[in-house]
Structure formats: C-alpha cells, structure tokens
Amino acid sequence: MFATDHRQSYQPPIPENYLGNCIGPCIVQAKVKDLIGPAGIFVACQAIGKAFDEVKRVGIQNAEDWGKIVLEIGSHKPFGTSGSFRFKVYDVDFGWGKPAKVDIVSVAYSGATAVAESREQDGMEIGLCFTQREIEVFANYIGEGLGYMSTLVN
C-alpha cells in the first residue's frame, strides 16, 4: 500500500499548490512465490505500476471503503516506506548550513524503510532497520535480483 496524491481525482481538480490532506491508498498485490523468485523485482515493479494505473482510473470513487481496506492491510505486517526523494532534505538550511547526513529515526521502531535523495546529485538513500537474520536474507535477495538483472543487460 502506498499513499497517493488524489488532487487530480476531484472535479474540478484541486490545484498543485493546495496544502492539505488529499491522499488515499494505492493497494499493490502480488503473490509471494512470484516476489521471491529471481524476477521478483520486476514482478514488484509491474504490480506497483498496475496499482498506480488503477488509482488513476478509479480515482476517489471507492473512497468510502478506504478505511476498511487500510484496517485489513494493517492487521497483517505491512512493509512501509517513510520519506521521499522529492523532499529535498539536503537542501534545508536553518542558518547553520546544509545537513551532512539525514536519517529518519522512526524506521528503527516502525520497521519501515526510509527513502531520501542523496547528498550527491542524482542519487537516492535507502535506510533499513533489520535484525541480523533479516539483513542477511535481504542482502541475498538483492544480490540475486541484481545478478538476474545483469543477465538481461548483457
């Protein structure tokens, strides 16, 4: 599940400079057996793209069901992401200079993943908080996925 911007779902559309809560859920579904295979990253990307297309198509038509949907998903252990590379956290300057490093500390307690743009140009930082066993499984999975992708490029 992703939080998505629904300003364009309203008629007339809500302006881009609107400051307020105009988000709704984007539900992504994929089978675990497909996600843990060598093409898992592609399956995930395809499922996310399909879910975003569905949000564009349906808009806010089912908004009255969002609460039930979110509660149902929350009863499982969802994988969450905090932050965005669009926040430009390294451009913030409160008078003592731009930050050298930015971390979203709450990921240690929530199990979420932190995402931000990197201090260098055209990069992204991803913060994870896993147990030793979880990070070993994750590292193996990422290694397999990158290996699979390299066979497609070569």
| The predicted structure's pLDDT at residue 118 | 85
HSE toward the beta carbon, residue 58, CA cutoff 13 A: 18
What are 49-99's pLDDT values in tens digits? 999 898 888 888 888 888 888 888 776 666 677 777 777 888 888 899 988
- Domain 1-77 classified CATH 3.30.559.10? yes
What does pLDDT average to over the chain?
81
CATH, domain 79-154, list 3.40.220.10, 3.40.1160.10, 3.30.559.10, 3.40.50.300: 3.30.559.10
- Half-sphere exposure at residue 141, Cβ-oriented, CA atoms within 13 angstroms: 14
Extents of the domains making up the chain: 1-77, 79-154
- Side-chain half-sphere of 55: how many Cα atoms within 13 Å? 21
Average pLDDT of 24-46?
84
Residue 126 scores a pLDDT above 80: yes
- The pLDDT of residue 71: 83
